[in-house]
């Protein structure tokens, strides 16, 4: 779809919708059918409604005290104090509104990453809230507007208008910030562009670690993040005698930066490659279109929907200069400085999905539903050349009597080196879902369902260079082949230097077909208890994966009880057993050069690229148990206590790979609402979780086994020479999360106060053990002695205290004074040391990570005018 | 003065109604009728009309003024003004008495409900239809309730102490709201758990900006049961739900869908792509777990790791990557920035520092996501 067509789409949709409004009759909206934009709020008021929800003092009814409860038992809040004013004398139109305008002042660590994560706080004037609403009581027409603005990058405005039961129009504009880091020190020029160049103090491909460290120390601090600017328009109304149509279009402009990478081969283990943490640009446009048509009859119900999404990346690549001087492992002179790296960023893509849903009412209080959908996602972006270098790459070993592993860049730095110029990538999806439900009596019901879903990946790519007749690609911008002889990434059946190179030559078009059958029944015992049992069989057929078939049997038992006093208890337990067909630990041969004619096995055979006893966790045998109990208990007229207890256990039947996960938790909530003047609540939540994995180091060097390049390396089995038991290791991640908080509001008359406190804390510990030091990345005596049994704990804590006081000067005018004090602390072993230096030999980092601790205070005063 | 009249009007109506009901209920005729047929109201519409205050409420006003108006459709799901009075299984013989009768007692409820979209829509619709519109379109015929207001089940009620079953409650709502986003309500997990519409919605007062919710916001409604999920959003890494920029219903349709987690689209990935369209691709080189299911690596409700990951890097990757050479080494504190041998495989963003295009690469040299 061209840009011009995209621009015209809103107009086309608007015309279509307006032309349909002549005899509009529609009961309700299709919002919950569409993804996104259901909530308009910000950190100042996450609800987007708080300023107008002060309850009136009359309560809800003169017939009973307090508020009624939901069927489950939670108290409804007291109705807000609402009053409308006639637009003019005798008019059917009334209006009400509120304007809240004021000043926000920040003190302390206002740049703290966690404080700003999704809020663009700034000291200055802010539109706290603005809402204006018009209603016509006779015709049911209405116009509603609300908005708020913290800053240019953090604001929303939403307009709704329509006629109850007839039509609805909605338009919105919103800016949503996302801060990724406030502690970034990139060394490059051109941040935010597609071309990162080094500062004058550094020589591309030729700088010393000291020079790089100095450049990093001198780099200015930057924020890394983005802003999502979304606009949208939707209309809904009756097209013809009960056929209701809706049309929605939205556009998002996402602009900013994110942390990115930049490999020039390894820097660990004494290798002289280069590792760059760079910054990529974000410059996306996405236009989404949703059209729906529905008809609800007494017997038949129909919904047809079309979803289209058109993503455009205005900066589809990133070029960067690496400062590091590469050095080959042989110590020979480098044939050239390799410093130019490149990423292809996300390609433009188009998505279409058409879905039809049909339901029919049946006898015995039954219903038959069938849904069918077809979708396609496609992109055909021009491909970039395999490499951007000029001159030559590789290693010339002729000075020491070896082969010449150099490769002319000219053969690869052009799109003429590709077998195809465009990606021509496409995945089609298909869905069929049918189910029947019957409730022949109030005490018994049953249902059955069948779902079939297929994802067919039609993308085919062969990495073949017609200029050279070679297969493969240039690995890591040419750096790998310039450090390790022969590891350029090329396979050439005519050249002994490359005829044993086992490299990727085809893409893997992953896809799957999933068939799911479900049968369930539920019984009502007496008036207060019901029991449901559901059996599900999931038959999955992944393509080009280790298993061709994965089956899962699942049974779920659910119990709902209202027989224990006033409490409502909802409990469920499910058990699932996943098995499958033969597990082929290496199904990828056909995508590597070893499958091509002319491939010659190395003298010692191809190393088994992974261990045969490994089971990937999305395919491995698994037993799963889940249990959950939710209790809601009303106490008297004003109090509700609710609690949740839950636990999951997953055990994977494997020696290598994910072995188990488990989590156990509970929450407790207390709500108190004695009168419209006073409300209070408190909550506590605790959860612990654990994940365990096992792995095995291969014998990649003499000090942890036979080593690569020796006989026996083709043996994939655990316990063999390549994957010896001695190299096994185990790792677990334990986490504990605690949440607590309270809220209190009280109305003193002309003064209303609100107080809230929230605490969130997590503690994570990654521990490990190993069979012998053969498993370790670093096996020297000093390193082995210092290996320990785990990483330092990761901690995250956040405390937020909010206090607000509202003064009503008159019925119309008032003032809100509010304050927030937020403190936090954070440690994560990934970032240990980075707050001291971002330069580590042949590595240069950009992000120091979130602040170790922060404290920030926000004070605000808002003038309120009731309109 | 205005506040005083608000109090006086319904009070005087309530007193009058009470007196009228007492006179009627204790009259010899009524006593005889009640004792003869306790299961039926035994009242005709004309009886009720005679006993109770007039019930016009402006009903049929538009129709009376304009006889050429298009006939009201009997379609049960679209126009509010065609809403029928549902049968109450617990009061099968009750008759409709009209909104004004209800308001005689439920005066404050009427005031509060008038601010809600739901009742306002009935009000507007009442001009085009009969006197039953409004209260009895949801609560069923009210004669039994009017006779004996405290009798359990005499009216269709939607609250905790109601005798009306959840099925009857939802059937009432679906009488107008069937289809569309609620096409798959029957058989959905919320239906199976005995949830009623009024567990999440309160059409009797405007307590939320939209959606006639039972709490001021969507997320508070969902959190009233899913407290553990709400708590996960407090973790270090989360989507902007606590900041008010997202709602649970951005991804889930609580009214029922064809997926178990009530997703609005057909799969997890399609839901994620609606905001993260750049991840949709397809890419020249795909990463198997990414294409299969975003949840393989991300916990979308909140995580203690960077970018919603389910485990710390490199542990996350090492669950699958046991390949020869560098992926399968056990990293220890030696590899940290403060360790003896700082190692890019665990520092900062770990594996992703080099395999950055982990969601898929469109570069001919990107099969390992370096490019």
For the segment A517-551, what is each residue's pLDDT rounded down to a tens digit? 999 999 998 889 999 999 999 999 999 999 999 99
**Residue contact B214–A70, C-beta within 8 A:** yes
Helix (H, G, I), strand (E, B) or coil at A678: strand
pLDDT band of residue B280 (cuts 50, 70, 90) is very high
| Cis amide leading into A525 (omega within 30) | no
Contact A461 B219 (CB under 8 A): no
Q: How far apart are CA A544 and CA A862, in angstroms?
A: 60
A338 in Cβ contact with A389 (< 8 Å): yes
- pLDDT for A6 beyond 60: no
Q: B68: pLDDT confidence band, cut at 50, 70 and 90? A: low
B178 contacts on A by Cβ (under 8 Å): 296, 301
- Ordered strands of the A340-344 beta sheet: A195-196, A317-321, A340-344
Chain A residues closer than 8 Å to B275 by CB:
35-36
Contacts of B329 in chain A (CB under 8 A): 697, 775-777
Q: Which one is predicted more confidently, B10 or B203?
A: B203
And the tokens for A9? 């789409």
Q: What is the mean pLDDT of residues A276-287?
A: 98
Average pLDDT score over residue span A660-680? 96
- Tokens 């109850």, residue? A164
Residues A694-703 have pLDDT tens digits of 999 999 888 8
Q: Tell me how far apart the 2 most distant CA atoms of chain B are, in Å.
A: 100
What are the residue ranges of helices labelled H in B37-116? 45-51, 61-65, 99-105, 107-114
**Whole-angstrom distance, CA of residue B287 vs CA of residue B318:** 15
Q: φ and ψ at B22, to 5 degrees?
A: -65, -45
Instruction: Name every chain A residue with its beta carbon within 8 A of the beta carbon of B282.
Output: 349, 377-379, 425-427, 457, 459
- Given CA atoms B248, B254, B259, B261 in this order, what sign does their dihedral have? positive
Work out the pLDDT band at A30, boundaries 50, 70, 90.
Answer: low
- Distance, CA of A157 to CA of A147 (rounded, Å): 4
Map residue A739 onto helix, strand or coil. Answer: strand
3-state helix, strand, coil in chain B (%, to 5): 40, 5, 55
B2 confidence band (pLDDT: 50, 70, 90): very low
Distance in angstroms (rounded) separating the CA atoms of residues B193 and A561: 10
Contact list in B for residue A775 (CB cut-off 8 A) is 329-330
Collapsing DSSP to helix, strand or coil, A341 comes out as strand
pLDDT in tens, A787-798: 999 999 999 999
Please report the pLDDT score of residue A509 as a whole number: 98
Do B193 and A558 touch, CB atoms closer than 8 A?
Answer: yes
Q: How many CB atoms lie within 10 A of CB A475?
A: 27
How many interchain CB pairs under 8 A, A with B?
A: 616
Q: Which residue in B166, B176, B341 is closest to A71 by CB distance? A: B166
In this predicted structure, the answer to whether residue A207 has a pLDDT above a threshold of 50 is: yes
Share of chain B above pLDDT 90, in %: 55
Distance CA B347, CA A508 (A): 30
C-beta separation of A866 from A98 below 8 A: yes
* CB-based contact A383:B364 (threshold 8 Å): yes
State the average pLDDT for chain A: 94
The chain A residue lying nearest B240, using CA atoms, is A118
**B10, B84, B201, B330: best to mutate for the A interface, most A CBs within 10 A:** B330
Answer whether A233's CB lies under 8 Å from A13's CB. yes
Rounded to a whole number of angstroms, the distance from the CA of B184 to the nearest CA of chain A is 8
Name which of A33, A242, A832 is nearest B75 (Cβ-Cβ): A242
The Cα of A853 is separated from the nearest Cα of chain B by a number of Å equal to 13
Instruction: Decide if pLDDT at B8 tops 50.
Output: no
User: Measured between alpha carbons, how far is A584 from B346 in angstroms, rounded to an integer?
Assistant: 30
Three-state secondary structure call for residue A19: helix
List, for residues A40-63, the tens digit of each pLDDT value: 999 999 999 999 988 888 888 888
Q: Cβ B322–A241 below 8 Å, yes or no?
A: no
Question: Measured between alpha carbons, how far apart are the two ends of chain B, in Å?
Answer: 76
The CA distance from A265 to A267, in Å, is: 7
pLDDT in tens, A587-621: 999 999 999 999 999 999 999 989 999 999 999 99
pLDDT tens string A440-496: 988 899 999 999 999 999 999 999 999 999 999 999 999 999 999 999 999 999 999
Q: State the smallest CA–CA distance between residue A446 and chain B in angstroms.
A: 9
> Which residues on chain A are in Cβ contact (under 8 Å) with B312?
733, 764, 766, 794, 830
Which of the two residues, A409 and A811, has the higher pLDDT score?
A409
* Confidence label for A9 from pLDDT (cuts 50, 70 and 90): very low
Q: Which of A424-428, A572-576, A681-685, B13-17 has the lowest mean pLDDT?
A: B13-17
Q: Which of B208, B247, B264 is nearest residue A34 as measured by Cβ atoms?
A: B264
- Mean pLDDT on B296-305: 97
> Cis peptide before B279, with omega less than 30 degrees from 0?
no
- Residue in the block written with tokens 């992944």: A542
Q: Where are the alpha helices (DSSP H) in A611-712?
A: none
Distance CA A480, CA A777 (A): 20
Judged by CB atoms closer than 8 Å, whether chains meet at A27 and B176 is answered as yes
CA–CA gap between residue B3 and residue B8 (Å, rounded): 9
Q: Mark residue A205 as left, alpha or beta (left: phi above 0; alpha: psi -120 to 50; beta: remaining).
A: left
Partner-chain residue, chosen from A25, A463, A783, that has the shortest CB–CB distance to B364: A463
Per-residue pLDDT tens digits for A567-586: 999 999 999 999 999 999 99
Among the residue ranges A841-850, B165-174, B328-337, the one predicted with the least confidence is: B165-174
pLDDT higher than threshold 90 for residue A106: yes
Average pLDDT on A833-862 reads 97
How far apart are the C-alpha atoms of B216 and A100, rounded to whole Å? 19
Indicate yes or no: CB of A27 within 8 angstroms of CB of B165.
no
Quote the pLDDT of residue A421: 97
Is the predicted pLDDT of residue B77 greater than 50, yes or no? no
Nearest CA in chain B to A842: B344
Closest to A695 (Cα-Cα) out of B336, B182, B244, B331: B331
- Rounded Cα gap, residues A450 and A414, in angstroms: 50
Determine how β-strand A274-276 pairs with β-strand A843-844.
Answer: parallel
Rounded to an integer, the average pLDDT of A637-641 is: 95
| Arithmetic mean of pLDDT, A80-93 | 88
Collect all residues of chain B within an 8 Å Cβ-Cβ radius of residue A31: 181, 211, 249
CB atoms within 10 A of CB A597: 5
Which positions in chain A touch B162 (Cβ < 8 Å)?
Answer: 71
d(CA A479, CA B53): 91
Q: How many angstroms separate the CA atoms of A760 and A348, rounded?
A: 39
CA A485 to chain centre: 40
What does the pLDDT read at residue B128? Answer: 56
pLDDT at position A63? 87
The whole-angstrom distance between residue A669's C-alpha and the CA centroid of its chain comes to 28
E strand spans, A152-278: 154-163, 167-184, 195-196, 222-240, 243-259, 263-264, 274-276
- Rounded CA separation A73/A58 (Å): 22
* Residue B117: its H or E element: helix B117-126
Alpha carbons A243 and A239: distance in angstroms, whole number: 5
With CB atoms and an 8 Å threshold, state whether A46 touches B158.
Answer: no
pTM of the model: 0.91
Q: B283 or A705, which is more confident?
A: B283
The answer to whether B158 and B198 have CB atoms below 8 angstroms apart is yes
Task: Identify the band that residue B178 occupies on the pLDDT scale cut at 50, 70 and 90.
Answer: confident
CB atoms within 10 A of CB A853: 13
| Cβ–Cβ gap B75/A261 under 8 Å | no
Average pLDDT estimate for A299-326: 96
A469 neighbors A433 (Cβ within 8 angstroms): no
Percent of chain A's residues with pLDDT above 90: 86
At A843, list the tokens. Answer: 């590595």
| Gyration radius of chain B's alpha carbons | 30
* Contact between residue B262 and residue B188 where contact means Cβ atoms under 8 Å apart: yes
Residues of B in contact with A139 (CB under 8 A): 124
**Euclidean distance between CA atoms A477 and A510, whole angstroms:** 26
Give exposure, A427-443, as e/b (b: 16+ Cβ within 10 Å).
bbbbbebbbbbbbeeee
Contact A843 B347 (CB under 8 A): yes
Our measurement of the distance from residue A761's CA atom to the centroid of its chain's CA atoms, rounded to an integer in Å, reads 22
- pLDDT bin (cut points 50, 70, 90) of residue B179 is confident
* Chain A: closest CA distance from residue B36 (Å): 29
Work out the minimum CA distance from B260 to partner chain A, whole angstroms.
11
pLDDT tens digits, one per residue of A244-257: 999 999 999 999 99
Interface test with A, best of B125, B190, B210 (most A CBs within 10 A): B210
Q: Do A32 and B323 lie within an 8 Å CB cutoff?
A: no
**Residues B29, B51: contact at Cβ < 8 Å?**
no
Q: Are residues A451 and B204, on separate chains, in Cβ contact within 8 Å?
A: no
Say if residues A82 and A96 touch (Cβ distance below 8 Å).
yes
Contact at CB, B224 and A509, closer than 8 angstroms? no
CB–CB of A777 and B347 under 8 A? no
* pLDDT at res. A286: 98
Contact A165 B202 (CB under 8 A): no
User: How distant, in Å, are the alpha carbons of B59, B130, B154, B182 from that of B145?
Assistant: 22, 20, 5, 30
Closest CA to A526 of A561, A551, A479: A561
Beta strand ranges found along A297-336 (DSSP E): 300-313, 317-321
């Amino acid at each position: 779809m061209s840009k011009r067509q995209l621009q015209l789409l809103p107009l086309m949709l608007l015309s279509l919708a307006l032309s349909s409004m002549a005899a509009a009759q529609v009961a309700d909206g299709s919002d919950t059918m569409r993804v996104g934009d259901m909530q308009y709020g910000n950190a100042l008021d996450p609800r987007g409604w708080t300023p107008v929800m002060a309850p009136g003092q009359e309560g809800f009814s003169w017939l009973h005290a307090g508020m009624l409860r939901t069927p489950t038992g939670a108290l409804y809040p007291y109705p807000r104090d609402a009053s409308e004013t006639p637009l003019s004398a005798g008019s059917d139109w009334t209006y009400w509104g509120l304007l809240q305008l004021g000043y926000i002042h920040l003190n302390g660590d206002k740049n703290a990453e966690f404080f700003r994560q999704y809020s663009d706080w700034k000291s200055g004037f802010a539109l706290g809230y603005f809402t204006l609403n018009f209603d016509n009581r006779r015709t049911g027409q209405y116009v509603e507007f609300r908005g708020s603005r913290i800053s240019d990058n953090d604001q929303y405005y939403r307009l709704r208008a329509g006629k109850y039961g007839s039509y609805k129009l909605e338009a919105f504009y919103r800016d949503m910030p996302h801060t990724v880091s406030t502690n970034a020190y990139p060394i490059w020029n051109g941040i935010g562009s597609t071309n990162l160049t080094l500062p004058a103090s550094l020589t591309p491909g030729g700088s010393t670690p000291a020079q790089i460290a100095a450049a990093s120390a001198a780099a200015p601090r930057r924020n890394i993040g983005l802003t999502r600017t979304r606009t949208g328009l939707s209309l809904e109304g009756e097209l013809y005698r009960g056929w209701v149509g809706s049309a929605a279009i939205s556009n998002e402009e996402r602009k900013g930066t994110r942390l990115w990478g930049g490999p020039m081969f390894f820097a660990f283990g004494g290798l002289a490659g280069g590792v760059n943490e760079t910054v990529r640009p974000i410059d996306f446009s996405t236009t989404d279109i949703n059209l729906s048509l529905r008809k609800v009859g007494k017997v038949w119900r129909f919904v047809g929907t079309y979803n289209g999404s058109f993503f455009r990346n205005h900066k589809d690549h990133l070029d960067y200069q690496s400062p590091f001087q590469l050095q080959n492992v042989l110590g020979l002179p480098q044939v050239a400085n390799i410093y130019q790296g490149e990423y292809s960023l996300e390609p433009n893509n188009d998505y279409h999905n058409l879905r039809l849903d049909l339901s029919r009412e049946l006898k015995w209080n039954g219903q038959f539903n069938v849904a069918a959908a077809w979708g396609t996602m496609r992109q055909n972006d021009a491909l970039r050349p395999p490499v951007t270098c000029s001159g030559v790459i590789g290693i010339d070993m002729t000075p020491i009597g070896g082969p010449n592993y150099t490769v002319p860049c000219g053969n690869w730095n052009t799109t003429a080196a590709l077998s195809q110029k465009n990606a021509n990538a496409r995945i089609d999806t298909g869905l069929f879902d049918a189910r029947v439900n019957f409730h022949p009596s109030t005490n018994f019901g049953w249902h059955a369902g069948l779902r079939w879903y297929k994802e067919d990946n039609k993308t085919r790519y062969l990495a073949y260079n017609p200029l050279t007749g070679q297969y493969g690609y240039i690995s890591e911008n040419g750096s790998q082949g310039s450090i390790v002889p022969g590891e350029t990434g090329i396979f050439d059946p005519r050249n002994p230097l490359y005829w044993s190179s086992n490299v990727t030559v085809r893409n893997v078009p992953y896809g799957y077909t999933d068939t799911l059958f479900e049968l369930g029944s539920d019984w009502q015992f007496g008036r207060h208890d019901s029991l449901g049992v559901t059996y599900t069989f999931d038959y999955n057929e992944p393509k080009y994966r280790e298993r061709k078939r994965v089956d899962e049997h699942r049974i779920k038992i659910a119990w709902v009880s209202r027989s224990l006093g006033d409490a409502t208890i909802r409990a469920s337990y499910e058990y699932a057993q996943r098995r499958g067909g033969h597990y082929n630990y290496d199904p990828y041969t056909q995508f590597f050069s070893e499958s091509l004619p002319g491939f010659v096995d190395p003298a010692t055979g191809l190393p088994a690229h992974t261990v045969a006893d490994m089971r990937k966790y999305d395919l491995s045998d698994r037993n799963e148990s889940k249990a959950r109990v939710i209790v809601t208990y009303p106490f008297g007229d004003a109090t509700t206590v609710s609690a949740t207890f839950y636990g999951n256990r997953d055990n994977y039947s494997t020696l290598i790979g994910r072995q188990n996960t488990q989590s156990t938790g509970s929450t407790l909530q207390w709500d108190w609402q004695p009168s419209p003047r006073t409300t209070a609540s408190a909550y506590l939540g605790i959860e612990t979780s654990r994940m365990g994995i096992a792995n095995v180091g291969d014998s990649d060097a003499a000090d942890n086994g036979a080593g690569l390049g020796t006989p026996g390396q083709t043996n994939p089995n655990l316990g063999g020479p390549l994957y010896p038991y001695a190299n096994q290791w185990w790792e677990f991640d334990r986490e504990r999360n605690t949440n607590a908080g309270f809220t209190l509001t009280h109305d003193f008359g002309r003064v209303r106060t609100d107080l809230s406190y929230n605490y969130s804390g997590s503690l994570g510990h990654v521990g490990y053990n190993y069979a012998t030091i053969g498993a370790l990345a670093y096996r020297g005596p000093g390193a082995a002695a210092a290996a320990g049994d785990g990483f330092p704990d990761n901690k995250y804590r956040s405390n937020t205290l909010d206090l607000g006081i509202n003064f009503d000067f008159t019925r119309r005018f008032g003032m809100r004074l509010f304050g927030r004090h937020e403190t936090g602390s954070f440690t994560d072993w990934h970032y240990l040391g980075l707050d001291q230096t971002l330069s580590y030999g042949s590595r240069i980092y950009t992000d120091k990570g979130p602040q170790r601790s922060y404290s920030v205070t926000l004070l605000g005063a808002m003038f309120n005018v009731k309109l | 003065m205005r506040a005083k009249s608000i109090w006086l009007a319904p009070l005087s109506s309530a007193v009058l109604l009470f007196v009228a009901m007492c006179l009627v209920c204790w009259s010899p005729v009524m006593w005889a009728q009640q004792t003869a047929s306790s299961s039926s109201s035994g009242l005709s519409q004309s009886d009720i009309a005679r006993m109770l205050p007039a019930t016009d409420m402006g009903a049929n006003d538009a129709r009376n003024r304009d006889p050429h108006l298009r006939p009201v459709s009997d379609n049960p799901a679209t126009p509010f003004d065609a809403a029928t009075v549902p049968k109450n299984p617990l009061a099968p013989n009750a008759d409709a008495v009209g909104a004004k009768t209800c308001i005689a007692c439920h005066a404050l409820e009427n005031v509060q409900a008038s601010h809600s979209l739901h009742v306002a829509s009935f009000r507007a619709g009442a001009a085009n239809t009969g006197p039953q519109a409004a209260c009895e379109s949801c609560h069923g015929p009210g004669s039994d309730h009017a006779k004996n207001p405290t009798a359990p089940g005499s009216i269709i009620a939607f609250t905790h102490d109601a005798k009306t079953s959840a099925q009857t409650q939802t059937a009432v709502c679906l009488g107008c709201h069937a289809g569309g986003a609620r096409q798959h309500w029957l058989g959905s997990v919320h239906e199976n758990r005995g949830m009623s519409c009024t567990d999440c919605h309160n059409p009797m007062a405007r307590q939320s900006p939209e959606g006639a919710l039972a709490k001021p916001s969507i997320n508070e409604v969902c959190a009233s049961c899913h407290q553990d999920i709400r708590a996960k959003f407090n973790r270090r890494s989360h989507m902007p739900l606590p900041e008010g920029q997202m709602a649970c219903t951005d991804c889930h349709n609580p009214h029922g869908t064809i997926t178990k987690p009530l997703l609005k689209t057909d799969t997890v990935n399609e839901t994620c792509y609606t905001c993260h369209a750049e991840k949709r691709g397809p890419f020249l080189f795909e990463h198997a777990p990414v294409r299969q299911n975003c949840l393989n690596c991300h916990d979308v409700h909140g995580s203690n790791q960077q970018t919603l990951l389910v485990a710390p890097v490199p542990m996350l990757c090492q669950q699958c990557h046991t390949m020869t050479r560098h992926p399968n080494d056990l990293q220890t504190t030696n590899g940290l920035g403060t360790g003896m041998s700082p190692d890019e495989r665990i520092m900062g963003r770990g594996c992703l520092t080099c395999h950055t295009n982990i969601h898929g690469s469109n570069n001919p040299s990107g099969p390992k996501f370096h490019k």
